[in-house]
Amino acid sequence: MQIAQLDYGDTDNPTALAIFVKTPGLSPVKTRLAATLGQEKAEELFLLCIRAIAAVAKQAQLQTQNQPSEIIPYWAIAEAEALDHPLWQNFSRLHTGAGNLGQRLDRVYRALRANHQRVILIGADSPQLTAQLLVSAATGINAKKSVICPTHDGGYALFGSQSNIPTSAWVNTPYSSAKTTNVFLRQLLPMIVIKLPPIGDIDHEADVLTICQEMRKIDLLPEQVELVDWCQRQLNLNLDLDSVHE
Helix spans in the chain (H): 31-37, 39-63, 101-113, 131-140, 167-171, 180-188, 205-215, 222-235, 241-245
In degrees and rounded to multiples of 5, residue 38 shows phi and psi of 95, 155
- 176-233, pLDDT tens digit by residue? 899 999 999 999 999 999 999 999 999 888 899 889 889 888 899 999 999 999 998 8
Q: Can you give the residue ranges of every domain in the chain?
A: 12-202
CATH number listed for the domain at residues 12-202: 3.90.550.10
* pLDDT tens readout for residues 21-53: 999 999 989 888 889 989 999 999 999 999 999
Contact 112, 119 (CB under 8 A): yes
Per-residue pLDDT tens over the stretch 59-77: 999 999 988 889 999 999 9
Percentages helix, strand, coil for the chain (3-state, rounded to 5) are 45, 20, 40
Q: How confident is the model at residue 5 (pLDDT cuts 50, 70, 90)?
A: low
pTM above 0.95? no
